[in-house]
Amino acid sequence: MSLLEFQNVSFESDNKSILKNISVDIEEGDFFSIVGPSGSGKSTFLKLCSHLISPIKGTISYKNKNIFDYNPTELRKNIVYCFQSPYLFGDTVIENINFPFTIRNIKPNQKRIDELFSMFHMDGDYLHKDIINLSGGEKQRISLIRSLLFMPEILLLDEITSALDVDNAVIVENVISALNNNGTTVLWITHNLEQSRKYANKLLLIESGEIKSLEVLK
């Protein structure tokens, strides 16, 4: 079933063409690895997927409905973008973990919180830590936990393991693979060729703002 569809989508910034006539169909349960040179438009593609930016031409459909017909805030509860550099706000980890519950006006689900901390090999003591005392790898994992407290339908990952050591990268890869196996659709930008083929079922190559190839891996 088609979950997200691009039809002849283009995007410009400061009168410079970033993406040109992008057409691609993302099906429910897909795991896309997105590769290509730096500056080719990969991150822009993900931002369009989550309606963080709007195309100048073409149509983006989510569940066969124009993405413009959705409330952007509600849309981003189902299509979650994880940045290369994690953004944590406030002073403590628990402020960040409680935030997704707060905006939904519901009580924090401690069972779900504990489950995710365990999946990312972090103990509950992290909840009471100050952000300033976290390493880069710890910040990335906390940011991912915050994004996954409510299971998104589509998970957009922008080079999230590029700054992690091997051990932390493997932890994150295993979690993302498990989520995909449970039905979450994943679009992952990576420069790691081994990583790009290990988990994905489709490999999308973007160069100079255009789709050069879409390879079905499995």
For residue 163, the model assigns a pLDDT of: 78
Domain ranges of the chain: 2-216
Q: Which residue has the higher pLDDT, 48 or 193?
A: 48
CB-based burial, 88-97: b 16+ in 10 Å, e otherwise:
beeebbeebb
Q: How many helices (H) and strands (E) does the chain have?
A: 7, 10
**Helix 93-102 / helix 136-148 crossing angle, nearest 10 deg:** 20
Query: Could you give the percent of the chain with pLDDT greater than 70?
Result: 100
For residue 131, the model assigns a pLDDT of: 94
Nearest to 208 by CA among 16, 6, 8: 16
pLDDT digits (tens, 9 = 90+) for 54-111: 999 999 999 999 999 999 888 988 999 998 888 899 899 999 999 999 988 999 999 9
SS3 content of the chain, % helix, strand, coil (to 5): 35, 30, 35
CATH no., domain 2-216: 3.40.50.300
Query: Quick one: average pLDDT of 23-51?
Result: 96
Query: Could you give the percent of the chain with pLDDT greater than 90?
Result: 78
Instruction: Order the strands of the 79-82 sheet from edge to edge.
Output: 79-82, 154-158, 185-189, 31-35, 202-207, 210-216
Question: CA-to-CA distance for 109 and 127, rounded, in angstroms?
Answer: 13
Structure tokens at 96: 């960040």
* pTM > 0.95: yes or no: no
Q: Can you give the length of the chain in residues? A: 218
Answer yes or no: are the C-beta atoms of 88 and 129 closer than 8 Å.
no
Question: CA-to-CA distance for 21 and 7, rounded, in angstroms?
Answer: 7
Pairing of strands 154-158, 185-189: parallel
Question: CA-to-CA distance for 98 and 14, rounded, in angstroms?
Answer: 38
